[in-house]
Chain A
């Protein structure tokens, strides 16, 4: 007999793994640094989702505290990264990571 299953934390963890994989593919495929940043945000969100799912599974609030700090660090990371991109764009016109080879020996 078919019965509606309740989503367990395993489902959320699998979804989080898939989301992390999509983010990884995005970072490797795309060349626009802004899109690469968005894909890094996808990966951070995947980890946040698994933190919260496990936190409610083992009934421990510490996972949610970790997500809180991840959110803060992600905000700081985006601010610094976008500042770097803006200052790079002052010197050149195109925005692909392939062109940023100024430090190559």
Chain B
């Protein structure tokens, strides 16, 4: 069963990722991104990270991809891009070599260091029928005790991002002219 979940989710993730890279229409690429994000959410559930799976679906698939689609529609760039020309000579083979090389190096490191890490920390509470919110409780306890300062700084970061975006996207010419 776990094997089936892994294979299905991995197929979703890889299909979506290849779609993002190869699709010429930005809207199709955004839809492929949704597929990848849902696959990642399934894997989070398989690791008992239920809160993160929910946040993944809500924030990524719900907010970030909608923002992408919104900008695509707003800018009118939803036409298919011409992918047949290579802007730089040999750009694609070189990029493929570098990308595959990075993956190969990381995979080699993972496989060769399989000897393993022992458990550290106090363990992860499994979500069961008796305690359906065990994961959320444990996560909240760590975030609001050890990481509470980082959490507060995060709110400042979001505020700065929102204000900065409003300032950048505003039409500056119409300020003061009454238009």
Chain A residue nearest in CB terms to B74: A86
Assuming the contacts A58-B120, A64-B49, asked whether A71 and B55 have C-beta atoms less than 8 A apart, the reply is: yes
B123 surroundings in chain A (CB, below 8 A): 59-60
B103 touches A17 (CB 8 A): yes
CB distance from A95 to the nearest CB of B (A): 5
Within 8 A of B (CB), among A18-65: 18-26, 28-32, 34-35, 37-39, 41-42, 45, 48-49, 52-62, 64-65
Partner of A57, one of B77, B117, B138: B117
Give the complex CA separation of A98 and B37 in angstroms.
Answer: 29
B102 touches A42 (CB 8 A): no
CB distance from B126 to the nearest CB of A (A): 10
A34 touches B143 (CB 8 A): no
B117 touches A38 (CB 8 A): no
A23 touches B121 (CB 8 A): no
Partner of A68, one of B52, B60, B122, B160: B52
Contact size range, A: 35 or more
Give the complex CA separation of A33 and B121 in angstroms.
Answer: 41
Contact size range, B: 35 or more
CB distance from B119 to the nearest CB of A (A): 4
A58 touches B21 (CB 8 A): no
Chain B residue nearest in CB terms to A44: B60
A89 surroundings in chain B (CB, below 8 A): 75, 77
B146 surroundings in chain A (CB, below 8 A): 65
Assuming the contacts A14-B107, A61-B124, A74-B64, asked whether A85 and B52 have C-beta atoms less than 8 A apart, the reply is: no
Give the complex CA separation of A28 and B95 in angstroms.
Answer: 6
A10 surroundings in chain B (CB, below 8 A): 110-111, 114
B64 surroundings in chain A (CB, below 8 A): 41, 74-75, 78
B150 surroundings in chain A (CB, below 8 A): 69
B117 surroundings in chain A (CB, below 8 A): 54, 57-58
B67 touches A38 (CB 8 A): no
A65 touches B147 (CB 8 A): yes
The 9 closest A-B pairs by CB, nearest first: A21-B103, A60-B121, A25-B99, A83-B165, A28-B95, A76-B161, A17-B106, A7-B6, A26-B21
Query: 12 A-B residue contacts at CB 8 Å?
Result: A10-B111, A21-B102, A25-B98, A25-B99, A29-B95, A31-B81, A41-B60, A48-B52, A71-B55, A71-B60, A78-B67, A83-B169
